[in-house]
Amino acid sequence: MLVLQALVKPGSFVKKGEVIGEFDRQYMLTRLDDYRASMDQVEAGMRILQSDLDVEKKAHTQLIEATKADLDKALIDLKTLPVQSDIDAEKLKLTAQEADARHKQLLGEVKLKEVSQKAQERVAEIERQQARIELQRAEANADRMLVRAPMDGITVMQTTLRGSEFGQIQQGDTLYPGQLYMRVVDPSSMVVNAAVNQVDVERLRIGARARVRFDAYPDLELPAHVYSIGAMPKGGGFRASYVKEVPVALKLDKMDHRVIPDLSVSADVVVAREGQVVIAPLETIFRDAGTGRPFVMLQRPSGWERREVDLGLVNNLAAAVRSGLRPGDIIAAEPPPSAANPPPASGN
């Protein structure tokens, strides 16, 4: 659970990258300070190590120079062997041999010292990289507590259950993981988030044209098209689990200055289209009991006349009549009692 410490006002216009919300990140900032201190300590340790290695290298070089000087002196002393006693001559030889061995030993340690120093520097560098990675991770975690606008737009707050009532999310609210609390909407390109019954969704196609009507403005109707269709149905929620709906997004093709986010709308999606045809209520279409052909009861000056019709698209309310009727014709919604040839059966 996270607490919203700061939040922009609803309906604010924001720019891409602008901070629009901040969660409680005191713990993250404390950890960040700890990692920064650790990084400073590691950097200081690196400098101390480098200084110690430089001192050790210089000391070893000076020791080599000192042994070289001892060796040179011993070699000079060897030149006095003819005038020395046997015991002193033997001592000078041993001194020269010892100085030579010591000098060669120190020269042989140079490569070993270099390998040892490089290993220590590599270990220290790995520790510094690890500390830097931990610091970067802490900085990223702290930055994740700052919510930035993904694009230019207007902020729209969502609702949450506060006590026993739903209210708009505001500063200080506690949110659970994954909870939607704000949208950034581009007012120049609006999308309608709708839901379609599982029975009807198979007839929808991406790009299908639609008409959107607004409850707040009964005279406003805007064109739109199907922008996306959900791959899975929505959760049951408070409704019965057997009532499934699939989320569908409609993109408005035309805007109006009165349209603002979160308005309630209704939409009609055009799944098929007929040309210039006559529309007749479905209850006025009868079918012959023998052949099943559709017909209507047309009112004529002499009475009711049975007229066969050719139907086009049919929905649950009306049917498109391609031939057999003209605009303005009066047809019966039920078999007229005075019809000369009453229909044997009717249906819708």
Architecture, CATH, for domain 1-23+146-187:
Beta Barrel (2.40)
Q: What angle (nearest 5°) sits at the alpha carbon of residue 91, between those of residues 88 and 92?
A: 90
**DSSP 8-state code for residue 331:** B
**Angle between helical axes of 26-78 and 86-144 (0-180°, round to 10):** 170
Q: Options 1.20.1250, 2.60.40, 2.40.420, 1.20.120; which CATH number does 274-348 get? A: 2.40.420
311 burial type by CB count under 10 A (0-12 exposed, 13-18 middle, 19+ buried): middle
pLDDT in the model for residue 237: 61
d(CA 121, CA 217): 74
Contacts of 303 (CB under 8 A, 6+ apart): 338, 339, 340
Structure tokens at 39: 């990084």
Q: Which CATH class is domain 188-269?
A: mainly beta
pTM of the model: 0.55
Write down the residue that tokens 């919300």 correspond to: 21
Q: For each of the chain's 348 residues, which pLDDT tens digit applies?
A: 788 888 999 888 999 999 999 988 888 888 889 999 999 999 999 999 999 989 988 998 999 999 999 888 888 888 888 888 888 888 888 988 998 899 889 888 888 888 988 999 999 999 999 999 999 999 998 898 899 999 999 998 888 887 788 888 888 888 888 888 898 988 888 999 999 988 889 989 999 999 999 999 999 999 999 999 999 988 766 656 677 889 999 999 999 989 988 899 999 998 888 888 899 999 999 998 888 899 999 998 888 999 999 999 888 889 999 999 999 999 999 888 765 444 444 444
